[in-house]
Chains A and B, each alone.
Chain A
Amino acid sequence: MSRATTLNSLQRSTRRFAWLFMGPVVIAFVIGFVWPFIQGIYLSFCKFRITSDAQLIGFGNYQAALADPTFRHAFWYTALTAVVSLVLINVLAFAVAYALTQAIKGANLYRTVFFMPNLIGGIVLGYIWSMIFDGILSQYQTSILLETKYGFWGLIILMCWQQIGYMMIIYIAGLQAVPEDMLEAAKIDGANKWQTLFKVTIPNVMPSITICTFLSLTNGFKLFDQNLALTGGQPFIIQPDGSTINTTEMLALNIYNTFYNASTAARGTAQAKAVIFFILVAGLGLAQLAYTRKREVQQ
């Protein structure tokens, strides 16, 4: 038999088992993703309380979502949290990774410790840190739930503790791949440590930097468990018009609260918010993909 015929007959006999190889995943994927996604898009254009009483109303939900002051507040608060945490996490993670790749004693032990918080779930993390912050703040007769700035910086510290170890791992992999002879050449040419870092090392780990920046950006935008457990959106501020703004509420929590803690009449608005949120997060994801691809081509 020629190679092509073997391959053909292999493929043909494999195809007969399509139901077995593809069936379970396709069924579960339709139940767990495809159908809920399509229904979600449809419902964002409907007025509904439960999924069976939906009536098409056009773009009304989107108008309501974009006009909602709590949603706008959550957007800016999320963007601020994401950007501040992005900068801190990446600068610190890179610094730690750089130090750990300098052949120092105990590097493996340190790496183990820094990565550890990553395995603890968001809800548990939130309660650990709320105990710690309240332990400190109670000395001053206040609490993390009483001031927005405490809630904000508290969440930033929590995110740093959780994610620095993760990004550090990616940076270490990047740093170890920097060609030794390039560093050697820079040294011979008389470059000092800082010049080598900025002119040789950093350009060479650009791919890792891109991955980590986008990962921390999307992580920041999607954050939910930690936000719920640490402050749950508190403190609440009552606006002059009677509406309430949860000052530390991020986008994902805002969507959740609109679905489950507001009147059921707001569910259409909540679904529209969810679609806007999806477009935002997917946009960031695609931008990452395009950007990484472009870099890869250049190299």
Chain B
Amino acid sequence: MPHDQSLAAERRNKTLLSVLLGIVCLIWCLPVVAVVINSFKRNTYVKTETFALPNEQSWAGLDNFIKGMTFGNYPFKSSVTYSVIITILSVALILIFCSMAAWYIARVNSLACKVVYYLCVFSMVVPFQMVMFTLSKTADTLKLNTPWTIPIVYLGFGAGLAIFMFVGFVKSIPLEIEEAAAIDGCGPLRTFFSVVLPMLKPTLISVGILEIMWVWNDYLLPVLVLDINKYRTIPIHIQYLKGSYGTVDLGATMALILLSIIPVIIFYLACQKHIIKGVAAGAVKG
């Protein structure tokens, strides 16, 4: 019957499509595979045999990783530590203070609140180059140039998107719940922390993921604000490998790149669902 034939044809087409996409996916993974195989190769072979598996001559074992630890006149371990500190502190500050401010803005809605809200929305369309020079000078004057204080700068520059997303969500929460809490004798602090904050959880995760991805990968803000002789983050470290020697040891560079993307990939595989949802939410609103 023609109907059966068309069904069979459609099934064949779908299998074909699936195989085709599978091949594209393999190609998609190649850059990461190239990083893995080259991180085990001696420097001179990275450029000449980029796509070959390491052989007896080019195999460097763990040398690149050991060398990478001190490579670039700065300990890689410290860069990792500072990246972790800055990311955790900044994202924690952004989540706590921006959700508090967003709730206040959505509920009190005074003129001052509207001004702050629209300034936040405005700040989302301002590219970093517009403020980079003056911001780095201001941060320097106020001693915000250490990993412990730079989160304040991140809170300020990142407040726009976070407040925008939180306000959008708070407005969708029915007021009755907070009224009930007030009638039961909750003050604003308890209402926010025990009633509103738990309801904000999905948005907290979305905003948290967007901010983690931003702060962890950010290069320009920390390089301009931090005193880079003392403090480096992973992106700064990778960028300065090039500047520190005349020629770069590509094997060691690939080893460090591999070390820096492994945690990102683990994080991605562990919270994939939330990450994709968070990114989609941020894109639609931003």
Which residues on A are within 8 Å of B, measured CB to CB? 1, 3, 6-7, 9-11, 13-18, 20-22, 24-26, 28-37, 39-40, 43, 50-51, 96, 99-100, 102-106, 109-124, 127-129, 131-132, 134-136, 138, 161, 166, 169-170, 173, 211, 215, 222, 224-225, 228-229, 252, 255-256, 259, 267, 270-271, 274-275, 277-278, 281-282, 285-286
Contacts and interface: CB of A to CB of B under 8 A. Distances in A.
Top 6 A-B pairs, shortest CB-CB distance: A32-B156, A135-B50, A121-B217, A285-B125, A28-B156, A21-B104
A21 B100 CA distance: 5
Determine chain B's interface SS by DSSP, over half rule.
helix
21 contacts: A7-B175, A10-B107, A22-B113, A28-B153, A28-B159, A29-B119, A29-B159, A37-B130, A37-B134, A39-B134, A104-B18, A105-B14, A116-B265, A119-B265, A123-B217, A128-B35, A132-B34, A138-B50, A225-B220, A277-B127, A278-B126
Contacts of A170: 280, 283-284
A119 B264 contact: yes
B148 interface: no
A106 B22 contact: yes
Contact of B163 (A9, A25, A161, A166): A25
Nearest to A3: B179
B64 to A, nearest CB: 13
Contact of A229 (B134, B152, B239): B239
Contact of B261 (A33, A105, A120): A120
Given A3-B179, A31-B153, A135-B47, A51 B17 contact: no
A275 B133 CA distance: 12
Given A10-B182, A28-B155, A29-B119, A119 B47 contact: no
Given A22-B101, A134-B47, A228-B239, A122 B217 contact: yes
B48 interface: yes
Interface of B: 14-15, 17-18, 21-22, 24-25, 28-29, 31-32, 34-35, 38, 46-48, 50-51, 93, 97-98, 100-101, 103-105, 107-108, 110, 113, 116, 119-120, 123-135, 137-139, 142, 144, 152-157, 159-160, 163, 175, 178-179, 182-183, 187-189, 191-192, 213, 216-220, 234-235, 238-239, 250, 253-254, 257, 260-261, 264-265, 267-269, 272, 275-276, 279-280, 283-284
Nearest to A208: B284
Contacts of A129: 31
A208 to B, nearest CB: 9
Contacts of A104: 14, 17-18, 21
A255 B179 CA distance: 52
A40 B130 contact: yes
A51 B137 contact: yes
Given A22-B113, A24-B93, A256-B132, 19 more contacts: A9-B182, A10-B188, A25-B155, A28-B155, A40-B130, A43-B134, A100-B21, A105-B15, A112-B269, A114-B28, A134-B50, A138-B47, A161-B28, A169-B280, A173-B280, A278-B126, A278-B127, A281-B125, A285-B125
A215 B104 contact: no
A102 B14 contact: yes
- Chain A CB count within 10 A is highest, among B32, B104, B116, for B104
Contact of B276 (A17, A22, A117, A169): A169
Given A17-B189, A33-B159, A211-B284, A106 B21 contact: yes
Contacts of A225: 217, 219-220, 235
Given A11-B107, A37-B126, A131-B254, A110 B134 contact: no
